[in-house]
Amino acid sequence: MLAKRIIPCLDVKDGRTVKGINFEGLRDVGDAVALGSKYAREGADELVYLDISATQEGRNTFTHLVSRIAAEIDIPFTVGGGISTIDDASRLLDAGADKISINSAAIRRPELIDEIASKYGSQFVVIAIDARLTDGQWLATTHGGKRNTDKELFAWAHEAQERGAGELLFTSMNHDGTRQGYPCDTFARLAEHLRIPIIASGGAGSIDDIADVLTHGRADAALAASIFHYGEIPIPVLKQALAERNIAVRL
Amino acid sequence: MIAIVNYDTGNIRSVTNALARVGCTDWVYTDDKAILAQADKVILPGVGEASTAMAKLAERGLDTFIPTLTHPVLGICVGTQLMCQSSEEGNAQCMGIFRTKVRKFQPHQPSEEQLSIEKIPHMGWNQITDLRTPLFKDINDGAYIYYVHSYYPELCTDTIATSHYINGFSGALGRDNFFGTQFHPEKSGAIGAQIIKNFLEL
Question: pLDDT of A207-247, one tens digit each?
Answer: 999 999 999 999 999 999 889 988 899 999 999 999 999 99
Please give the mean pLDDT across all residues of chain B: 94
Residue of chain A nearest B188, judged by CA positions: A75
Of A73, A52, A48, the closest CA to residue A61 belongs to A52
- Kindly report, residue by residue over B100-115, the tens digit of the pLDDT: 999 999 988 776 666 6
CATH number for the domain including A34?
3.20.20.70
Q: Does residue A212 form part of some domain?
A: yes
- A40 and A73 Cβ atoms separated by less than 8 Å: yes
Q: What is the pLDDT of residue B87?
A: 97
Q: Which residues contact A54 (CB under 8 A, 6 or more apart)?
A: none
Q: Does residue A251 form part of some domain?
A: no
ipTM of the complex: 0.93
> Residue A3 — very low, low, confident or very high, per pLDDT cuts 50/70/90?
very high
Cβ-nearest to B125 among A40, A45, A122: A45
CATH number for the domain including B160?
3.40.50.880
Q: Does residue A172 form part of some domain?
A: yes
Q: Cβ contacts (< 8 Å) between A192 and chain B: which residues?
A: 110, 117
Confirm or reject contact between A250 and chain B (CB < 8 A): yes
Q: CA-CA distance, A150 to A91, in Å (whole number)? A: 31
- Kindly report, residue by residue over B122-134, the tens digit of the pLDDT: 999 999 999 999 9
Domain containing B109 equals 2-200
Is A130 in the active site?
Answer: yes
For the four alpha carbons of B153, B156, B158 and B163, in that order, the dihedral sign comes to positive
Confirm or reject contact between A123 and chain B (CB < 8 A): yes
Q: What is the pLDDT of residue A117?
A: 93
In the stretch 17-46 of chain B, residues with CB closer than 8 A to chain A read 17-18, 20-21
Q: Does residue A228 form part of some domain?
A: yes
DSSP of A99-158, one letter per residue? EEEE-HHHHH-THHHHHHHHHH-GGGEEEEEEEEEETTEEEEEETTTTEEEEEEHHHHHH
- A19 and A228 Cβ atoms separated by less than 8 Å: no
Q: Does residue A137 form part of some domain?
A: yes
- Domain total of chain B: 1
Task: Kindly tell me if the per-residue pLDDT of A27 is higher than 80.
Answer: no
Residue type, A82: G
Across the A:B interface, residue pairs with CB atoms under 8 Å apart total 81
DSSP of A193-205, one letter per residue? H-SS-EEEES---
Strand partners, B87: B92, B102
Q: Cβ contacts (< 8 Å) between B195 and chain A: which residues?
A: none
- A81 and A89 Cβ atoms separated by less than 8 Å: no
Of B105, B95, B104, B189, the closest CA to residue B139 belongs to B189
Percentage of chain B with pLDDT > 70?
A: 96
- Kindly report, residue by residue over A162-213, the tens digit of the pLDDT: 999 999 999 999 998 888 999 999 999 999 999 999 999 988 999 999 999 9
Q: What is the pLDDT of residue A178?
A: 86
Phi, psi of B55 (to 5 degrees): -65, -35
- Kindly report, residue by residue over B115-174, the tens digit of the pLDDT: 667 888 899 999 999 999 999 999 999 999 999 999 999 999 999 999 999 999 999 999
Q: What is the pLDDT of residue A79?
A: 97
Q: Cβ contacts (< 8 Å) between A250 and chain B: which residues?
A: 125, 144
Domain containing A166 equals 5-244
Is B184 in the active site?
Answer: yes
- Nearest-CA distance from B37 to chain A in Å? 28
- Domain total of chain A: 1
Q: Does residue A250 form part of some domain?
A: no
3-state secondary structure of B136: helix
Q: Cβ contacts (< 8 Å) between A93 and chain B: which residues?
A: 11
